[in-house]
Chain A
Amino acid sequence: METTYSSLNKDRLIELFHREQKSMTELATPLVNRIRQHALSRFEKNGFPSKQLENWRFTDLTPLLNTEFFFDFSNKSRSMDVEKIFTCDVYDLDTFSITLLNGWFVYKSAPLTKLDNGTIIGSLAKAMEVYPELVDQYFGKAAKTDVYELAALNTAFVQDGLFIYVPDGVTLEKPVQLINIVNADHPVFLQPRHLIIVGKGSKITLVHCDHSLTHNVSFTNILTEIFAEDNAVVDHYKIQNKGRNSALITNTFIRQKKSSSVYSNMITLNGGFTKNILDVSLPEPNCRSEHFGLYLVDSNQHVDNQVYIDHIAPDNYSNQLFKGILDDEARAVFSGKVMVRRHAQHTVAHQNNKNILLTDDAKANTQPHLEIYADDVKCSHGATVGQLDPEAMFYLRSRGLCERTARQLMMIAFAGEVVQKISIQALQERIQHLVEKRLKGELSICDQCMLHCNSKEPTAFNIDMSKI
């Protein structure tokens, strides 16, 4: 059943919840439904985040909600042949690939696959039916719905998304790739929910691609919970290439058990409005947690990265490096906070945000922040906002490079520092290629789309020489 509203606000969503409650709750476990009810009451209390909040000071959701959105409470796309409409540029990697279309799981044979090594990959909705104890053991344990308004909203409406369970002592040789596609001929409001559980000493690489195949307005509010058990190693890559009219909010909650390592890398190539919220809890010692981000934005695109790393236990290492290049009137926001609690001795935490503005109209707001209550720690933070170094530009030109080539070379080098953090060689090369295409003005959201709708979005990041 589809429902539409001329514009969205808290009251309308709550009304919608009560009307559609049955179709949501009948697929979920009783525990998930109790968590859902709690989240709903939080959303009822807090509503959408307002600009009065510190973490939303420079990012305004209001104009994005002013649209006639359609909601879909049943899976209409599950047996669609996605390859007919889309091929991912990272696709030719040898991956275990999964597609979500408009927030719903698309499958050819079965909604849930159990591999020989015990790994379960598939639809969260199906997992709640087949493995309810497993889902109940983890669901909602990392997502802080009391603190994050949009995490509460996602949890209240949870239906489907990706479920991965890797049992203890299993290394998944192939990366798991999740392709999240938005394609609808009307504005859609989507809230996929992912639950990733990585057992003791296990290893997984997750590649998460967000695409939109439509020029229509869409609003996606994704929530991902990642649990890394003792000694687990998780590599989490996100590649975002979405249209000008899309709003994408990602809420990622990571909980690390002792001696685990989690690496994440968020690459925002295109997107009308993007907000990535990352919340990492380190309640046990000897963990590594490294988070990198790259955003390449132009026209009036808006990208906001908000990171919170909570050092609760001693002897943990965390590192953040977020870099961005902004063209035209693009806007970037970074707010990173590292919390070092009283018992978190010997914490090592680094945080850095670097921005290059190509025009006078581009704007970056950056707020690195450390809050330290332990006395024996090593922490650093830094932020820069600047232009391409004119001395370096002249140096390159004095060797015969034209201004355009010199700029591209320097931008690719600037972005390279983040791309080089990708540990899988083949993936690194693919992403480097995408980043280079993007910075040369050759990549639009239409490149991978097979629909040929004849309304190609301009391949921006074109350097307008008249502005220099």
Chain B
Amino acid sequence: MDLVLQLLFTGIGIGSVYALVALGFVLIFRATNVVNFAQGEFSMVAAFLMVVFSVKMGLPYWVAFIFALLGMACLGAVFNLAVYYPLRHRTYLPVIISTIGASIFMANTTLAVHGPEPEVLSGWFDTPGFMLGPVYLDNQYVLIIVVTALLVALQYWFFEHTLLGKKLQATSQDKEMASLLGIPVAVMIMITFIYSAVIGGIAGILVAPVLFVSIGMGATIALKAFAATIIGGFGDVTGAIIGGLALGVIETFGAAYVSVPYKDGFAFLVLIAFLIFRPQGIFGERVAEKA
């Protein structure tokens, strides 16, 4: 039973990261109807920026954190201008291909600049963790869970209770109408990309002390985050969060009870199972039917 609780905690912790990245997916998808296959690379780049600022340059942790997020905001803007915006009037296929190209470009540019060695990034806290009853709570996992919860709450407030949030929602639901009402659609899309890059970056920095900071971390996280969005129901924010948490838990239990080397395979098996039996996900509406 203790082991189950322990695994549950770890699963929710890692699932929170998937949920954060999935959130970035969903936001861009709702704003542009495009799945950004480079979403995971945002996390990877942010983690490396953090390594540069915090470890290599020796800046205080929070200064490095802010610098890294500023860097991500710039990256999100450049990404929008170079990868999405010129293709906005084409079908989804060129855009998918373009974001895949961007993902490879970002991963390998980082590799070329930095080299293949993984880096270690220490966490926010000096102490590793504490016991709560029978469960050992790793500080970093606690931080991940808390920050994810805060961000989700903040995002809810932002979208539901601010004018900018409402404008972003309007843009995502009907660009033409939004633009007729005087909402600068291009600016809204730009904001979405910047926000997604930043939120992906936060996820990357949070998870970095748990994993290693490596070139491959982005692709792995992105795939799982995408699986999370499908499990939760595509384009649904609540679904993305529940899906992410569920996936983290499934994966942790799978690794503990079934097989460690195939740990990364569970997400994909769950994904394919969902696609076959419940493609609309837990919360989603029917995907097909459009005339």
Q: Answer yes or no: do A and B interact.
A: no
